[in-house]
Structure 1
Amino acid sequence: MCRWAAWQGAPIFASEILTAPDHSLIHQSRDASECKTAINADGFGLAWYDKRPTPGLYRDVHPAWSDPNLRSLAQQVQARLFMAHVRASTGTATSRNNCHPFVQGNWTFMHNGQVGGFDQLRKAADMLIPDDLYPNRKGATDSEALFLVACGAGLETCPKLALEHSVALFEDMARGVECAPHMRMAAALSDGQTLYAVRYASDDRAPSLYYQWNAEWQGWSVVSEPYDTVCGGWKEVPKGSFCRFTPTEVEITPFVPQVRVAEPKLAG
């Protein structure tokens, strides 16, 4: 299982979360404490927003702890919103195209979890991606496919409904091949203005997810697991939840996957 961290608020250096804390994200890449495996060595990625609407993106296939370029970049990049991910593959190859976060236009997405039996339903999943978005299918992960399906389902209009619809489709396909767990996810996504996060599973083992208001830095940390215990104030996101973080507020609502049927067009 992967580990990730996101920030939304006043601009801070990415190193404040990626490298500086005792249990920073880079430390979690080799010694995670709240997932099945402590090692997350199958690549990493960092996406950030500041002055421009589309994000910067840096990804590589090395273990995060061994890449000096990531540490140098984290010390120089100061951003109001950023998302970082260290990967533990669930079966797909270690390549840049399979590293999170994924970017489509001004949207960024990263995911921890799995779709049951994805090897058996990969073609069917790819068929759900709209033709105009399919050229952006660069890798082979379930996460990227889910993201592109959500983009085609109206992510820009209503992220929550688009994700509920897309997760329901993938969950139904996993049930069809009788491979459990059908869906487990702790995901983050952003359009560069608002940070969203989801915690959900089709069983009772949703991946861990926490958030914290940092009064010193004036913003929200959203993480797979806390990177420090000094500040305290970490809150666990309830299972089956969709979170919306603005620079100063958070809203948490139930996340209930369901396939939306298109409304019939009126004649005339």
Structure 2
Amino acid sequence: MCRWLAYVGEPLLASTVILDAQHSLVAQSLNSPLGHETVNGDGFGFGWYPEESAPHSGPAFFHSIEPAWNDENLRELTRSVRSPLFFSHVRAAAGPPIQRTNCHPFRHENWMFMHNGALDDFEKSKRDLTFAVDPSLYPEIRGTTDSEVLFHLALTLGLKEDPIAAMEKAVRMVESVGHDHGIPFPMQGTVAVTDGVTIWAFRYSSARRTRTLFHSVDIDILREMYPDAERLTLFGSHARLVVSEPLNDLPGVFTEVPESTVAIVDAEGYRYQPFLDAA
């Protein structure tokens, strides 16, 4: 489907994880060992909160339909941008066309959203789900993906007030409409949402066989585990990463997020909460 990463912590040069890691996101766009598709070359996106103004201003974006491994502008940009919170996503199109408006992450005011997975048989439920979006938000849907509709459904259902409750309502609606159309497992995916301060990372699928999701271990613990790893000096004490798959092969650096779980990530660390585990 896709691969993505989300970072929050001390301002970090984005290329550190998007380009320069052993299994960076750009490397995963060419070869994704844990992905549903090995190659994710149908465009990419990079969204970040400016270092001096986050979280008071909305995020900046760069999207392209070029393969991430072949885009010089992505290299130039990520080697220049330092940000305390950023998202990046490489796309493997599951049906909707390859166009810039279909590249993640998506944005509304100071919020960002990205998704790895799919709403199964979306063409059957698309009309009902799209028309459930609040009329004031409907004009903001610029692309044709199921992911963008899911984002605007969550906004309609209160994402800005309570992200977890809103995502629960949105996914329940996807499943209800899907079942009405004879779709046995309507929802698949991992989702990242942020307001510019906190990241909510969801792992859930109707079939309980969700795409992979991991987060990094506390950086101080990693420095004790690997005292000679110079690369760890690039990260501050509050650096946190959520990723579709680990960025290196070092044992113990990344922990898998459990099935049907939301990981809440901020300067204080990680907290888990069950997500639709009894749906």
**Do both share a fold (TM > 0.5)?**
yes
1:250 aligns with 2:278: no
Aligned counterpart, 1:12 = 12
1:214 aligns with 2:219: yes
1:71 aligns with 2:75: yes
1:240 aligns with 2:260: yes
Using structure 1 for the length normalisation, give the TM-score.
0.93
Gaps of 5+ in 1: 260-268
Between the two proteins, the alignment pairs up a number of residues equal to 259
- Equivalent position to 2:177, from 162, 165, 173: 173
Contact 1:214–1:221 (CA under 8 A) maintained in structure 2: no
SS for the counterpart of 2:97 is: coil
1:57 aligns with 2:61: yes
- Equivalent position to 2:116, from 112, 115, 130: 112
Distance of 2:208 and 2:70 partners within structure 1: 35
Aligned counterpart, 1:126 = 130
Q: Call closer, same or farther: CA 1:122–1:258 in 2, change over 3 Å.
A: farther
Residue identity opposite 1:8 in structure 2: V
- Equivalent position to 2:164, from 142, 160, 164: 160
Deviations 1:144-193 (A, max 9, x none): 00000101111111000000000110111222222343111101010001
Distance of 2:251 and 2:183 partners within structure 1: 41
Distance of 2:164 and 2:176 partners within structure 1: 18
Aligned counterpart, 2:48 = 48
Aligned counterpart, 2:99 = 95
1:195 aligns with 2:196: no
Q: CA shift at 1:98, angstroms?
A: 0.4
Matches within 5 A, 1:133-144: 133-144=137-148
Contact 1:168–1:258 (CA under 8 A) maintained in structure 2: no
Aligned counterpart, 1:186 = 190
Deviations 1:76-102 (A, max 9, x none): 110000000000111000011100000
Deviations 1:115-163 (A, max 9, x none): 1110111111110110000110001111000000101111111000000
Distance of 1:12 and 1:231 partners within structure 2: 23
Distance of 1:40 and 1:257 partners within structure 2: 30
Distance of 2:116 and 2:200 partners within structure 1: 14
Moved more, 45-54 or 97-106: 45-54
Matches within 5 A, 1:21-36: 21-36=21-36
Q: Call closer, same or farther: CA 1:198–1:78 in 2, change over 3 Å.
A: same
Residue identity over aligned pairs, in percent, reads 36
Distance of 1:25 and 1:111 partners within structure 2: 15
Q: CA shift at 1:231, angstroms?
A: 7.1
Residue identity opposite 2:271 in structure 1: E
Residue identity opposite 1:5 in structure 2: L
Contact 2:208–2:260 (CA under 8 A) maintained in structure 1: no
Using structure 2 for the length normalisation, give the TM-score.
0.89
Residue identity opposite 1:242 in structure 2: V
Distance of 2:137 and 2:128 partners within structure 1: 15
Residue identity opposite 1:39 in structure 2: V
How well do the aligned residues superpose, as a CA RMSD in angstroms? Answer: 1.5
Contact 2:175–2:185 (CA under 8 A) maintained in structure 1: no
Gaps of 5+ in 2: 221-231
Distance of 1:62 and 1:214 partners within structure 2: 33
